[in-house]
Amino acid sequence: MLKKITYTLILSLLTLNSFSQNNSSEIHGNFDLNMQSYQEDELIGAEAADEIILNNAYLNINYTKGDFVAGLRYESYLNALLDFDDNYKGNGIPFRYASYTIDGLEVTAGNYYEQIGGGLIFRSYENKGLGIDNAMDGIRLKYSPLKGVYLKTFIGKSRTYFTYADGIIRGADAEVNINEALNFESKTRIIIGQGFISRYQSDINPKFKLPQNVAAYSSRLNIINGGWNYSGEYAIKLNDPVGSLTAEGNNYANGNALMSSLTYSKRGFGIIAEMHRVDHMEFRSERAQEKQYIINYIPTLTKQHTYTLLALYPSATQSEGEFGTQIDVFYKIKKGGLLGGKYGTKIIFNFSRINALNGGGSYLNDNEEHNPMFFSVKGEELYYRDINLEVYKKINKRVKVTGILAKQSYNKDVLEGKTPGTYGIVESTIAIADISYKIKKGHTIRIELQELLADGGEGSWSMGLAEYTISPHWFFAVQDMYNWGNDKVSKQLHYVNVNCGFLKGANRIAIGYGKKRAGIFCVGGVCKEVPSSNGFSLTISSSF
Amino acid sequence: MKNIITLFSLILIITSCDIVEGPYEINTENVTPTDTNTYVKKILIEDFTGHTCQNCPSAARELEAIHSLYGDRIIGMALHVSKSFARPYPISQAPKYQYDFRTKWGKEWDDLFGISGIGLPGGMVNRIGYPNEHRLGKDEWLARVISELEKEVDFGISITTSMTGNEVVITINTKILNNINGDYNLVVCLSESNIINWQKDGAEDVEDYKHNHALRSLLSDENLSTSSNYTNADNIEQTISVNLSTHEQFNINYSQNTAELGNGNAGGWDASNMSVIAYIYDNTTQEILQVEEAHLNN
């Protein structure tokens, strides 16, 4: 079947090329390869792979001719890297599409990624790092009937590994830029949006009444005035029981989510205040509560750290229920004076806090009903708290320094789905120093020193990294993470990694060797568990 | 064009949502399809679980609910697997979670079918969908059961046992119900129910949790026949002699010597709560085509 589709696609590309010679056509693409060897390492709990080497690879090809676009992605998992789901197995072309735009109407057939608003009710996306790809397969129409009015509607099934989930997903969204639509000149710009999503899955349950069409909708508002920007979105999901045969397994409660963010910025200063409240708001491509079916996205309300020890304990959004607040302040001390120096100093302060909803998320069945209070912080179970201060300073033409101090509280049981009471809350204090020194033109050395002092979890860690870059072609890096504070002496281990890479034009090749610890890897509050590993890695990226 | 899209979106919004009002439970009796044949299609649900897995009891309850709806046509098997969720706790934390329910075969099947690697609970219904769609969450079992119940049955299995002390003789009679061709294996296992021991259930540590259908031992996994052609109405008989103590000791040794962080506390079998489960699977697709269960001392 896939072969047939691909053949038809290639044939149609060639045909199209031959009859419309007026518009120039272009083909672009990119290729990624991640290969890793796995050796057994009993100390860190790393398992050997039977295949010794595992490999993931992707090739994207996109063809453009005027208003016509078509493309495909070849994926190869032989076999999938250990941190990937086993169900990614073998080769295939799971992504292919064709699209054209004419008189303001855009028509897409085949696979597409789509999002409604911030994603609270629907987000179809791919993130290879997380092993997520819930691409849609179906039809999508986009149309702009008037200036400032954007409509889209789509229907399809959502990808699950190399197949598609049972549910048929239908969606619609309208976005209106009031100023543009009404030709309204004002310092204040207002954009409103309304989205709707619905899943059809037949009801085969002989014991419980199930909705066959499960709907969710969201309204959003964005007001911009000078340096001020308010953005808010409210979403409701109607009854969506999982289809269990037990009464307690089916939760008929509606879900809801609210996101609200206020930003003020001017030259050298910015402040963002945000809150969100999420209650029973996981939307899936099937009733069954399995992570591979999730097709909405609730971003975390915590800072996305990039330094290893700051991101050692990341926050994962709890879609069944959480309340969070965050404040982020940016300030640049002007040049001159003791603090500003020759180039000025950037300071970023961030605070975030996430806690449980009162009594947990909404719940409804024949025997029980629970609706948590809208606002409740005091006395609720803490999920995550992060208070951090980052200072960035350019000392002179050669030296740049970043320093960060952070204090984090991490509810390991909840955020990692462990049995309650197993680990409790890990309290950690983290300090980071990042010093970059330009030796001469094109030669830079960068040193990271990181320290995490913790109660609970795996205890305290130290980390050092040295990276030497010879731009534009080479980089070399060596790093060591040392778990010196682990309660178990046998686990007080070094995790050393050596990497080097070569970049030329559109190609990038990197090889590495080292040990990785088992842990949690998150992007924007969506997380996956990564097993420990020991071995060589090869990554190749290329584009044309 | 804009009217078409607006209309399409409006139709979508107005029609695409069902709101279900309580009471949600429909009064149902046993809904097993009536079948007067001697042999009917039976279904094996393998529930991969662990005693410190907080969400696993909800899967066990789902299995019981499916069983109570479809009666004897549903046969359950609980396989306690993984170091994370099924290992016994250190002695310092006694009396909680001191027992080791794990077995050599549970581990082998878990590795082969890749169940606990993605997290527990997880399971299979007749191993349908192997190699890519066989691992099912508990909420997915029912749909698979319903489609399996519709299938025609090619084999009928009957089990007879006789027991003297620890010695058990098990006879499996397979009756061929159609002319068929294929590569099939017959598996014979022992399971035990009504084991009262600790289990995490949500946030609770339940001391007197009733563990049912726990896999105890694999007694045989061999070709059903030396030929790949099976003729309607043929009978194939296999007899297995088992010493329960030997098999029990095997599990104790496995827990002590092989299982990760095991403690050897894997004995205490109670033959009065044990069952023989026999099933036939296709060696090519792994699909379980027929299954039967009988009490050990029937």
Asked whether residue A17 carries a pLDDT value surpassing 60, the answer given is no
Which residue in the set A213, A250, A288 is minimally distant from B137, CB to CB? A288
Which residue, among B101, B109, B87, has the nearest Cα to B215 in the 3D structure?
B101
- Chain B partners within 8 Å of A218 (Cβ): none
Quick one: average pLDDT of A8-15? Answer: 46
- Chain B partners within 8 Å of A213 (Cβ): 15-18
List Cβ neighbours of A174 (8 Å cut-off, separation of 6 or more): A149, A150, A151, A193, A194, A195, B9
Asked whether residue A203 carries a pLDDT value surpassing 60, the answer given is yes
Structure tokens at A11: 């044939």
b/e sequence A377-413, b meaning 16+ C-beta within 10 Å = eeebeebbbbbbebbbbbeeeeebebebebebbbbbb
Q: How confident is the model at residue A482 (pLDDT cuts 50, 70, 90)?
A: very high
pLDDT tens digits, one per residue of A87-109: 898 999 999 999 999 998 999 99
Q: What is the DSSP letter of A41?
A: B
pLDDT tens digits, one per residue of A355-393: 999 999 999 999 999 999 998 888 999 999 999 999 999
| Residue type (1 letter), A362 | S
CB B98 within 8 Å of CB B262? no
Given an 8 Å threshold on Cβ–Cβ distance, is A172 in contact with B13?
A: yes
Q: Using CB atoms and an 8 Å cut-off, which of residues 183-212 of chain A contact chain B?
A: 196, 198, 200, 204-212
Asked whether residue A433 carries a pLDDT value surpassing 80, the answer given is yes
Strand bridging mode B74-80 / B43-49: parallel
How far is C-alpha B115 from the chain's CA centre? 13
- Chain B partners within 8 Å of A79 (Cβ): none
CA nearest to A149 within chain B: B2
**Helix ranges, A113-165 (H):** none
pLDDT tens digits, one per residue of B220-246: 999 999 999 999 999 999 999 999 999
Asked whether residue B263 carries a pLDDT value surpassing 90, the answer given is yes
CB B222 within 8 Å of CB B240? no
Structure tokens at A476: 């070399």
Which residue in the set B22, B58, B69 is minimally distant from A207, CB to CB? B69
Cα atoms in the 13 Å half-sphere on the side-chain side of A131 = 22
Given an 8 Å threshold on Cβ–Cβ distance, is A290 in contact with B140?
A: yes
Quick one: average pLDDT of A13-26? Answer: 57
Cis amide prior to A420 (ω within 30 degrees) = no
User: Residue by residue, what is the 3-state secondary structure of A12-30?
Assistant: HHHHHHHHCCCCCEEEEEE
Dmax (CA) of chain B: 82
pLDDT tens digits, one per residue of A104-161: 899 999 999 999 999 999 999 999 889 999 999 999 999 999 899 999 999 999 999 9
**pLDDT for position B13:** 62
Q: Is residue B233 less than 8 Å (CB to CB) from chain A?
A: no
- Chain A partners within 8 Å of B117 (Cβ): 86
**What fold does the segment set B38-295 form as a domain?**
Immunoglobulin-like (2.60.40)
- Chain A partners within 8 Å of B200 (Cβ): 419
**pLDDT for position A16:** 45
Structure tokens at B222: 């061999």
Quick one: average pLDDT of A448-474? Answer: 95
In the three-class reduction of DSSP (H, G, I as helix; E, B as strand; rest coil), residue A526 is classed as strand
List Cβ neighbours of B293 (8 Å cut-off, separation of 6 or more): B72, B75, B159, B191, B275, B276, B277, B278
Which residues is A98 bridged to in the sheet? A70, A109
Tell me the C-alpha distance between B126 and B117, whole Å: 20
Q: Is residue A153 less than 8 Å (CB to CB) from chain B?
A: yes
| Residue type (1 letter), B224 | L
The pTM of the full predicted model, rounded to 2 decimals, is 0.91
Tell me the C-alpha distance between A181 and A169, whole Å: 30
Tell me the C-alpha distance between A237 and A215, whole Å: 6
Tell me the C-alpha distance between B234 and B262, whole Å: 45
Which residues is A429 bridged to in the sheet? A407, A453
Q: Is residue B93 less than 8 Å (CB to CB) from chain A?
A: no
Q: How far is A356 from chain B (nearest CA, A)?
A: 15
Taking phi over 0 as left and psi of -120 to 50 as alpha, with beta for the rest, A458 belongs to: alpha
**pLDDT for position A423:** 87
**pLDDT for position A11:** 46
- Chain B partners within 8 Å of A174 (Cβ): 9
Positions of E strands within B8-115 = 43-49, 74-80
In the three-class reduction of DSSP (H, G, I as helix; E, B as strand; rest coil), residue A76 is classed as strand
Given an 8 Å threshold on Cβ–Cβ distance, is A419 in contact with B133?
A: no
Given an 8 Å threshold on Cβ–Cβ distance, is B1 in contact with A89?
A: no
b/e sequence B228-264, b meaning 16+ C-beta within 10 Å = eebeeeeebebebebebeebbeebbebbeeebeebbe
| Residue type (1 letter), B234 | D
Rounded to 5 degrees, φ, ψ at A193 are -145, 150
Distances (CA, A) of B265 to A472, A494, B78: 61, 35, 18
CB A310 within 8 Å of CB A388? yes
Quick one: average pLDDT of B2-6? Answer: 60
Helix %, strand %, coil % for chain B, to 5?
25, 35, 40
Distances (CA, A) of A431 to A185, A309, A311, A435, A496: 49, 9, 12, 13, 20
Tell me the C-alpha distance between A159 and A92, whole Å: 13
Cα atoms in the 13 Å half-sphere on the side-chain side of A474 = 7
Tell me the C-alpha distance between A258 and A323, whole Å: 10
List Cβ neighbours of A42 (8 Å cut-off, separation of 6 or more): none
Tell me the C-alpha distance between B86 and A508, whole Å: 44
Tell me the C-alpha distance between A92 and A223, whole Å: 45
CB A533 within 8 Å of CB A38? yes
Tell me the C-alpha distance between A484 and A471, whole Å: 35
Taking phi over 0 as left and psi of -120 to 50 as alpha, with beta for the rest, B165 belongs to: left
Q: Is residue B210 less than 8 Å (CB to CB) from chain A?
A: no
Asked whether residue B256 carries a pLDDT value surpassing 50, the answer given is yes
**pLDDT for position B132:** 84
Asked whether residue A242 carries a pLDDT value surpassing 70, the answer given is yes
Quick one: average pLDDT of A441-459? Answer: 94
CB B53 within 8 Å of CB B83? no
Q: What is the DSSP letter of A84?
A: S
**pLDDT for position A528:** 83
**pLDDT for position A376:** 86
Average pLDDT taken over every residue of chain A: 92
- Chain B partners within 8 Å of A244 (Cβ): 62, 65, 138-139, 142
CB A427 within 8 Å of CB A455? yes
Cα-based torsion angle of the residue sequence A236, A242, A248, A251 in order, rounded to the nearest 10 degrees: 10
Cα-based torsion angle of the residue sequence A139, A210, B120, B248 in order, rounded to the nearest 10 degrees: -140
Tell me the C-alpha distance between A381 and B214, whole Å: 36
Rg (CA), chain B: 22
Polymer length of chain A: 544
pLDDT tens digits, one per residue of A50-63: 999 999 999 999 99
Structure tokens at B257: 């010597």
pLDDT tens digits, one per residue of A263-317: 999 999 999 999 999 999 999 999 999 999 999 999 999 999 999 999 999 999 9
Given an 8 Å threshold on Cβ–Cβ distance, is A208 in contact with B131?
A: no
Helices and strands (H and E) in chain A: how many: 4, 33
Given an 8 Å threshold on Cβ–Cβ distance, is B137 in contact with A153?
A: no
**pLDDT for position A18:** 42
How far is C-alpha A355 from the chain's CA centre? 21
Strand bridging mode A369-370 / A382-394: unpaired
Helices and strands (H and E) in chain B: how many: 6, 14
Handedness of CA A424, A425, A431, A436 (dihedral sign): positive
Asked whether residue A22 carries a pLDDT value surpassing 80, the answer given is no
Tell me the C-alpha distance between A214 and A285, whole Å: 10
Q: Is residue B62 less than 8 Å (CB to CB) from chain A?
A: yes
**pLDDT for position B298:** 66
Q: How far is A84 from chain B (nearest CA, A)?
A: 9
CA nearest to A168 within chain B: B16
Rg (CA), chain A: 25
User: Which region among A273-282, B126-135, B284-293 has the lowest average model confidence (pLDDT)?
Assistant: B126-135
User: Which region among A80-84, A191-195, B25-29, B180-184 has the lowest average model confidence (pLDDT)?
Assistant: B25-29
Q: Is residue B208 less than 8 Å (CB to CB) from chain A?
A: no
